[in-house]
Amino acid sequence: MKIRQLKLFDKITAIVVNDYYDESELSSIMTEIQFLEPKLGDENKTRAATEQTSYGERRKKRGRGVFLDDVYTDRRFSSILTVSRKLFQNDQIRKEINTIQDQDKDALYWRMWNNLNYDSTLLQCYTNGDYYDYHVDHSIFTSITTLKFTNAYVGGDLMFRYNGEENLYQAEHNSTILFPSVVDHRVDEVKHNPDSNKNYLENNIFKMRWSIAHLISMR
C-alpha cells in the first residue's frame, strides 16, 4: 500500500491509499462480486440521495448496488467486509490519521475518528450512462475504493465541492480515498471507452466500474 495525504480544499484533508488490496484480496473480491451481482438493486434500493424537481422527487444517482449488511447476517462470510477492515486496523493508515490530528489545526473531523464505531458498506457498479450527482453522505467519514478491472469505460471520477470550490479526484484502480462526509461529492458519468474492444463488453461483469463505499459513523 502507498499512503498519502491529499488536500482537497484549504481546510479539508483526505487520505489516499493506492494499491489498497493485494492480489489475493482482489481475487477474493472478484469472486464475491460474481456472487453479489445478481442481487444488485437500482438507485431506489440503495437509498440514494434525492432532490426536488418541478416533476417531484428525483434520485440523484443512476446505477446498481447493494448494502452488504443487507446480504450477510455474519460479516465473516463476506470477503469484502473482512479484507476491508484494514481501513480501521492498518498501522500505516492509523499513523497518517494521527499525523493529521497532531499537525493540522483544522482537523476537527479527523479528531472524531477515535470515537467512530460503526460502518455500513455499499458495493456499487456503474455502467454506460450511470452517475451520482452532488450529495453528502449521512455519516461522519466516507471511504470509496475504486475498482477498474478493464478499460471498457471512462469517467466515474470523483468531483468534490466545498464553499464554492471544486476539486477533481481521478481515482486509480484499487485505490481508496477517505474523507469527511460533510464534503459535497459526485461521481461523473461513466461512458463507453471508444478505444476499448467492443466485443469484450459482452457478458463480462468486470467491464463495469465498481466501487466499495464505507459510510463510517457512531452508534
Residues 6 or more apart in contact with residue 217 via CB below 8 angstroms: 116, 118, 119, 138, 139, 140, 141
CA angle, residues 193, 198, 213, in degrees to nearest 5: 50
Grid cell at residue 60: 440523484
> In this structure, are residues 30 and 102 in contact, taking their beta carbons and an 8 Å threshold?
no
Predicted pLDDT at 47: 82
Whether the predicted pLDDT of 160 surpasses 90: yes
Q: How far apart are CA 171 and CA 28, in angstroms?
A: 21
Name the least confident of 45-49, 92-96, 105-109: 105-109
Whether the predicted pLDDT of 195 surpasses 80: no
**Rg, Å, the chain Cα set:** 17
Residues 6 or more apart in contact with residue 54 via CB below 8 angstroms: none
Predicted pLDDT at 107: 76
Predicted pLDDT at 200: 53
pTM for this prediction: 0.92
Q: What is the pLDDT of residues 96-145, one digit of tens each?
A: 999 998 887 767 789 899 899 999 999 999 999 999 999 999 999 999 99
pLDDT greater at residue 113 or residue 53 = 113
